[in-house]
Chain A
Amino acid sequence: MHIPDGFLDTKTWVGFSIISALVIGFAIKKVNKEIADNSENERRIPMMGVMSAFIFAAQMLNFPVAGGTSGHFMGGVLAAVLLGPFTGILILTTVLIVQCLIFQDGGLTALGANVFNMGFIGSFIGYYIYIIVDKILNKSRIKYISSFFAGWISIVLAAAMCALQLSLSNTVPLNIALPAMVLVHALIGIGEGLITVIVLGFILKVRPDLLEIKKI
């Protein structure tokens, strides 16, 4: 759901660029502080690098969903469950900047909106939904259900926000954009949830200690 240049009007892309710049600034400050306060947290830096690389690679793998449409893994919830919500924002932001500047995937004017949708909603909000569902279920260490649900809804919410931005820009009315975006992403979200669960399950099996890294 990378928004290209041309879909958003000036007030919308400028507005979301400012909001996202503030969100990114706050996330950098937060992650910085935690790392400075405790050198134990330094080991998360190479992990952040690998997570960014993995999410970039996984986002290249479009899988078919119904009706001649494809979707791809976003990775926001996966990054946040492994490393934390603020780190998740930074990882998704890095991936989105590289995709935009080098691969023309997502517009430069829409970068702020894309960071807001996939980094803030997809990773940060997705993480807290994961935490809440996990608290309610409070069952297993594996947390399959909560991570599946959070992965699924992170896509649906990001798509709903994208529809809102399109309607704010007078590109398409909300009553048309919202149901269309939510419906197709409710299908893509199933893939997101499954991949999130599979990757977490794999890590749990081979290196369960990686799940114990402090969440920032």
Chain B
Amino acid sequence: MKNVIITGLIISVILACGISYFASKSPDGLEKVAEDKGFLHLGEGKEIFKAPMPDYTTRGLKNEFLSNSLSGLIGVLITFGITFGLGYLIIKRKK
């Protein structure tokens, strides 16, 4: 099981840090529909808070590849950590 976890995390890190930089920058399905049907402006500047790494970028890192990679790495570690951590907290409590 340990190998599965490590392999899965390595694959995730490669996807998020190495390959994601080369992903399509075109608008996604909803964004494109919003653009075509004229309601994209409704969502512009309406964010009700400022996320720390907007659009998968790292503030202060000028190199776009590194900026994207670091945000991907942080995202992978946080999603893994939250799910794994909460899961074990629940078990501990039950015992």
Contacts and interface: CB of A to CB of B under 8 A. Distances in A.
B9 A184 contact: no
Interface of B: 1, 4-5, 8-9, 11-13, 15-16, 19-20, 23-30, 32-34, 36-37, 39, 42-44, 46-56, 71-72, 74-84, 87-88, 90-91, 94
B76 A45 contact: no
Contacts, number: 202
Interface in A56-72: 56-58, 60-65, 67-72
Given A7-B42, A53-B12, 12 more contacts: A4-B46, A6-B44, A32-B90, A57-B76, A64-B26, A65-B29, A102-B51, A102-B74, A109-B48, A171-B42, A172-B37, A181-B30
B27 A69 contact: yes
Contact of B28 (A53, A69, A180): A69
A interface, over-half SS: helix
Most chain A Cβ neighbours within 10 Å, of B5, B28, B30 = B30
Contact of B4 (A91, A180, A207): A207
A95 interface: yes
Contacts of A49: 5, 79-81, 83-84, 87
B23 to A, nearest CB: 4
Contacts of A176: 37
A177 B36 CA distance: 10
Given A7-B39, A105-B55, A107-B43, A98 B78 contact: yes
A101 B51 contact: yes
A108 B46 CA distance: 10
Contacts of B28: 1-2, 62, 69-72
10 contacts: A45-B84, A52-B80, A52-B83, A56-B75, A56-B76, A60-B15, A102-B75, A103-B55, A104-B47, A172-B37
Contacts of A166: 39
Contacts of A47: 1, 4-5
B23 A62 contact: yes
A99 B71 CA distance: 11
Nearest to B15: A57
B interface, over-half SS: helix
A103 B71 contact: yes
Contact of B27 (A50, A68, A94, A171): A68
A52 B70 CA distance: 18
Given A94-B83, A98-B79, A101-B51, A68 B72 contact: no
A14 interface: no
B84 A56 contact: no
A42 B91 contact: yes
What 7 pairs across the A-B complex have the smallest Cβ distances?
A: A6-B46, A49-B84, A45-B87, A50-B8, A70-B24, A104-B51, A57-B16
